[in-house]
Amino acid sequence: MSSVITVAPMPADEQETTTPAVEIRGLHKWYGAFEALGGVDLTVAAGERLVICGPSGSGKSTLIRTINALESFDEGEIRVDGIALTREPGTVEAVRQRVGMVFQQFNLFPHLTVLENCALPLRLVRGLPAPEARERALHYLAKVRIPEQADKFAAQLSGGQQQRVAIARALAMEPDLMLFDEPTSALDPEMVKEVLDAMVQLAAEGMTMVVVTHEMGFARQVADRVIFMDRGKIVEEGPPQTFFTHPREARTRAFLQQVLRVH
Amino acid sequence: MHFADNVDYPALLGRPIVFLPLLALLFEALRWWNFAATAIGRGLTGLFSLTGLTPAADNVAVAALATVVVGFNLAVVMRLKLRRQVYIVWLELAALILVFFYSFNLSFDFIARKIGFLITQGLVMTLYISLVSIAIASILALIGAMAKLSSNGIALGVANFYTSLFRGIPLLMQIYMIYMGLPQLGYVVGAVPAGIAALSLCYGAYMTEIFRGGIESIPKGQWEAARALGLKPNATLLRIILPQAMRVIIPPTGNQFIAMLKDSSLVSVVGVWELMYLARTQGQSEFRHIEMMITASLIYWLFSILLELLQGRVERYYGRAHAR
**B1 pLDDT higher than 70:** no
pLDDT of residue B15: 81
pLDDT of residue A22: 95
pLDDT of residue B35: 83
Per-residue pLDDT averaged across B83-110, rounded? 90
- Picking from A96-105, A182-191, B19-28, B56-65, which range would have the lowest pLDDT averaged per residue? B56-65
CB B236 within 8 A of CB B215: no
State how far residue A20 is from chain B, nearest Cα, in angstroms: 20
CB A36 within 8 A of CB A232: yes
On chain B, the residues whose CB falls within 8 A of the CB of A124 are 231-232, 235, 239
**Cβ within 8 Å, pair B244-A111:** yes
Q: What is the pLDDT of residues B242-265, one digit of tens each?
A: 999 999 999 999 999 999 999 999
From edge to edge, which strands make up the β-sheet containing A233-238?
Answer: A99-102, A177-181, A208-212, A49-53, A225-230, A233-238
pLDDT-derived band at B56 (thresholds 50, 70, 90) equals confident
**Cβ within 8 Å, pair A107-B222:** yes
Give the 3-state secondary structure of residue A69.
Answer: coil
pLDDT of residue A3: 46
Beta strands A49-53; A208-212: pairing state: parallel
Q: What is the pLDDT of residues B112-152, one digit of tens each?
A: 888 899 899 999 999 999 999 999 999 999 999 999 999 99
Compute the distance between CA of residue A112 and CA of residue A246 in angstroms, rounded to an integer. Answer: 48
User: Most B CBs within 10 Å: which of A66, A124, A169, as the mutation test of the B interface?
Assistant: A124
Q: In this complex, which of B228, B239, B244 lies closest to A110 when CB atoms are compared? A: B244
Q: In terms of CA atoms, which chain B residue is nearest residue A180?
A: B228
**Cβ within 8 Å, pair B244-A154:** no
Q: What is the pLDDT of residues B145-187, one digit of tens each?
A: 999 999 999 999 999 999 999 999 999 999 999 999 999 998 8
State how far residue B12 is from chain A, nearest Cα, in angstroms: 36
pTM attached to this predicted model: 0.83
pLDDT-derived band at B284 (thresholds 50, 70, 90) equals confident
Q: Give the residues across from A99 on adjacent strands.
A: A177
Compute the distance between CA of residue A185 and CA of residue B312 in angstroms, rounded to an integer. Answer: 39
ipTM of model: 0.91
**B51 pLDDT higher than 80:** no
Q: Give the residues across from A115 on adjacent strands.
A: none
Q: In this complex, which of A70, A96, A166 lies closest to B230 when CB atoms are compared? A: A96
pLDDT of residue A124: 96
Positions in chain A short of pLDDT 70: 1-17, 262-263
**Cβ within 8 Å, pair B225-A103:** yes
Pairwise pLDDT comparison (A37 vs B271), residue with the higher score: A37
Q: In this complex, which of B221, B231, B244 lies closest to A125 when CB atoms are compared? A: B231
- Picking from A191-200, B97-106, B308-317, which range would have the lowest pLDDT averaged per residue? B97-106
Give the 3-state secondary structure of residue B177.
Answer: helix
pLDDT of residue B91: 94
pLDDT of residue B237: 93
Compute the distance between CA of residue B315 and CA of residue B324 in angstroms, rounded to an integer. Answer: 15
pLDDT of residue A2: 44
State how far residue B206 is from chain A, nearest Cα, in angstroms: 26
**Cβ within 8 Å, pair B239-A169:** no
pLDDT of residue A263: 53
Per-residue pLDDT averaged across B10-35, rounded? 88
State how far residue A144 is from chain B, nearest Cα, in angstroms: 18
User: Most A CBs within 10 Å: which of B151, B227, B229, B314, as the mutation test of the A interface?
Assistant: B229
**Cβ within 8 Å, pair A111-B235:** no
A28-36 contacts at long range (C-beta below 8 A, 24 or more positions apart): A28/A73, A28/A74, A28/A75, A28/A76, A29/A59, A29/A62, A29/A66, A29/A71, A29/A72, A29/A73, A29/A74, A29/A75, A29/A232, A30/A74, A35/A231, A35/A232, A36/A62, A36/A232
Q: What is the pLDDT of residues A64-120, one digit of tens each?
A: 999 999 999 999 999 999 999 999 999 999 999 999 999 999 999 999 999 999 999
Q: In terms of CA atoms, which chain B residue is nearest residue A94?
A: B230
State how far residue B7 is from chain A, nearest Cα, in angstroms: 26
- Domains detected in chain B: 12-102 (no CATH), 109-322 (1.10.3720.10)
